[in-house]
Structure 1
Amino acid sequence: MVPASPVARPLRHVARALFPCVWRGKYFSSGNEPAESNRVTPMFRHLMYKIKSTGPITVAEYMKEVLTNPDKGYYVHHDMLGEKGDFITSPEISQIFGELVGIWFISEWMSSGKSSAFQLVELGPGRGTLTGDILRVFSQLGSVLKTCDISVHLVEVSQKLSEFQALTLTDKKIPLERDAESLVYMKGVTKSGIPVSWYRDLKDVPKGYSFYLANEFFDVLPIHKFQCGETRDHIEVCPEAGVIIQELSQRIALTGGAALIADYGHDGTKTDTFRGFCSHKLHDVLIAPGTADLTADVDFSYLRRMTQGKAASLGPIQQQTFLKNMGIDVRLKVLLDKADEPSVRQQLLHGYNMLMNPKKMGERFNFFALLPHQRLQVGSHQMGTCQSKPSASSPVAGFGELTWQ
């Protein structure tokens, strides 16, 4: 097995040679892109200078530079979400998604003993929509959480997106605290009075009993691509995802809590998934770098291995199954009964279809969870095996048959 050919100069001419990637059975690089799409972007010039100075770069380095370079990175300076952006995420499609995720965290909090305090930590919070929906659920169930001290911690590298998050979440009457040199580069108070802090790295978030959330976060982490043999079979590996999973697993093992990961991916069955998105359409990964999102399917089997036995893992299970188990049909009916305007009802039904339809997001997206081992050991102490079913009194919400690993 040898590494895939590095991304070298000239970038756009090697695109079709290096990445004849297939997505849903279609090549996303046709070789006939219009001339205007081949424009020289600031990121293109930066990469050219970098390659001329230090030599060829790997796919992972290319992906990291294009997405998160502090000066020219796609995520650092673009508003990529929504209809006017390059892609849209589940929380932006329907409020029900975030509400059910909020219920999941409350369920786990109750099942694990109703601790007196917990941190809600989101990795890559987008515009803050998902955290906002979760906090609304927390407020609506205030009688349940009234004795619990909650704080919000957001891990975000993009200054532009952190500003959107602040607009979505914080009380405008209370000014934000800013310190670019601190590990906590911004602080505020949410509309419901909960303290919220911003960090650039998960390792900077204080350790403590926490619920971690990552929605469409792992798919944008840099991947290494390898090719094996004359058949050019692809293997994609994301070391950074492994490091983050190890950090989450260690934290959960030491201080408790849980992590919920939602993303598109596979359980070790796919090979060549690296692709780009621009204006909701597939985009050649090496054309006009810095103007499009780069992504690759998450290998959940790799995430499971990277727990290194420190935490138990559940899933992946398809999004439609998880949301149905969480009661999406009941919640939809409640909202439809309350909706007076036809346009609101139509929007609710459209969002439900996007989330649940197997041909849209229902089967392509998956949920994956990390939990303390003892959370799944109820009723299994005498079985002497790694595989067991929890007792009926303490199931993990959203998941069906459980495998303790």
Structure 2
Amino acid sequence: MTDRPFASLEEKLAFQIARQGPLSLAAYMHACLADPQFGYYSKRQGIGESADFITAPEISQMFGELIGGWCVAAWQQLGRPDPFCLAEFGPGRGTLMADLLRAAKKAEGFTKAAHLVLVETSPLMREHQKAALQKWKNALGGFEWADHISALPGMPLVAVANEFLDALPFRQYIKAENGWREAGIAANDAGKLIRVTLPCLADPAILPDGADDQPPGAVFEHAPAREAVVEEVATRLMDHEGAALFIDYGHTASGFGDTFQAVRHHGYTGPLAEPGAHDVTSHVDFARLVAAANRTGLPPAALASQSDFLIELGLLERAGALGHGKSAAVQETLRRQVERLAGADQMGGLFKVLRITNPVLALPGHGKALSAPSA
């Protein structure tokens, strides 16, 4: 690159493309989210009703509280290790962890044994997390941030990742007359970013069944960075025991389709428009994540819808307890929160919950497991 000043990320990327050639979609997505000058997570706090998007912990305290109960159950079934690593990947504003710890403190010894590690690279988000979790600092056995999962301490692990995987870069391949070719980003003569097809051919090993039968223009998405994260966590559980939850929106079977999207002000916008000004994501392929976890030799990973997961953990009972004796307005608010979190046509159906453990643990939440291919 160069020390030349740029007015926008689009200008910066167009300059880079002019000198080095088109970008892969993965490289473009990484720049949009993590560029130190213009990246979305470097300069913006996009979570909340008044921001760009809202996550489950921000919808209701019940989400984090139920996850807290799950973490306590995992810790207890692991034999109450002291110390153990309690980790969250991509902790947002710290809301989930604050609710989790408030619920988990009722379990004697849990918070004192917990060495909390927040895996977060954004300095801006770390400040939000610090404010949300400051009061827990002295109650915990340890409290730190890490840039990478590889920096987690070598001890039993209980980990949670909510809407973390979708923010990791992915690649797209487009069916052409001469095979599946990678999609990329170039710039036109006016410096505007455009989609192009790159010379790179897809490795046939990553293509789902039926790829040869797809028509020209069909799209396949592959996210090796997401699979690598799940495999890394699974390997860590093989070495140190523990349990992990990955919660995100996506599908249970690998297939075809373009899910590259950008979100701004709770609506969708073009992912090439104003790069760095909005969140860019794609749907998570949970079938490949299940296969990645199972390749390590762990007990088979389990997959459930967010609806079934939260209801089995006691969402309805918790809402009833919070609303008991309260006004009709409070009860209606709780009802709407439950519907938003667990409704089949809302987050409950779109979001999936992947559980991996070592050893086998009888944890709640996957009684109605979804099927997912093993490869």
- Partner letter of residue 274 of structure 1? F
SS in 1 for 2:324: helix
Tell me the equivalent position of 2:234.
249
Q: Distance in 2 between matches of 1:145 and 1:67?
A: 35
Would you say 1:366 and 2:367 are equivalent positions?
no
Query: What's 2:149 paired with?
Result: 202
Q: What one-letter code is carried by the residue in structure 1 that aligns with 2:357?
A: L
Q: CA offset at residue 90 of structure 1?
A: 0.2
- State the partner residue of 2:251: 266
Give the 3 Å change call, closer, same or farther, for CA 284–313 of structure 1 in structure 2.
farther
Q: Which residue does 1:166 correspond to in 2?
A: 130
Q: Is the 8 A contact 1:252 1:258 kept in 2?
A: yes
Instruction: Tell me how far 1:41 sits from its aligned partner.
Output: 6.2
Q: Distance in 2 between matches of 1:67 and 1:84?
A: 20
SS at match of 2:247: strand
Q: Which runs of 5+ in 1 are unaligned?
A: 1-39, 172-188, 377-394
The answer to whether the 8 Å contact 2:245/2:355 transfers is yes
Contact 1:214 1:261 in 2 (8 A): yes
**C-alpha contact 2:304 2:368 (8 A) present in aligned 1:** no
Q: CA deviation at 1:313?
A: 4.0
Question: For 1:375 and 1:275, how far apart are their aligned partners in 2?
Answer: 37
Deviations 1:187-216 (A, max 9, x none): xx5264553211111112222111111100
Q: 1:50 maps to which residue?
A: 16
- For 2:30 and 2:165, how far apart are their aligned partners in 1? 13
1:398 equivalent in structure 2: 365
**C-alpha distance in 2 between matches for 1:71 and 1:359:** 38
The match for 1:62 is: 28
TM-score after normalising by structure 1:
0.76
Give the TM-score of the pair, scaled to structure 2: 0.82
Equivalent in the alignment of 1:143: 108
**Who is 2:191 aligned against?**
none
Deviations 1:73-101 (A, max 9, x none): 10111010001211000000011111111
- Paired residue for 1:311? 298
Q: What's the RMSD between the two structures over aligned residues?
A: 2.1
Question: 1:324 aligns to what?
Answer: 311
Q: What is the rounded CA distance, in whole Å, between the counterparts of 2:114 and 2:143 in structure 1?
A: 10
Q: d(CA) in 1 for partners of 2:327 and 2:7?
A: 45
Q: Which runs of 5+ in 2 are unaligned?
A: 1-5, 178-214
Q: Deviations over 1:264-306 (max 9, x none)?
A: 0112344221111111101101011111110111111111222
Matched residue, 1:335: 322
Q: Aligned partners of 2:155 and 2:219: how far apart in 1?
A: 39
Q: Distance in 2 between matches of 1:143 and 1:205?
A: 24
Give the match for residue 90 of structure 1. Answer: 56
Describe the SS at the equivalent of 1:316: strand
Give secondary structure in 1 for the equivalent of 2:341: helix
> Is 1:355 aligned to residue 321 of structure 2?
no
Identical positions, percent: 31
The answer on whether the counterparts of 1:151 and 1:195 sit within 8 Å (CA) in structure 2 is yes
Could you tell me which amino acid in structure 1 is paired with residue 108 of structure 2? Answer: S
Tell me, yes or no, if the aligned pair for 1:262 and 1:365 is still in contact at 8 Å: yes
- Secondary structure at the aligned position of 1:260 is classed as strand
For the residues of structure 2 that align with 1:290 and 1:41, how far apart are their CA atoms? Answer: 12
Distance 2:130 2:169 in 1: 27
Check the 8 A contact 2:62/2:319 in 1, yes or no. Answer: yes
Alignment CA distance shift 1:323-1:401 (3 Å)? closer
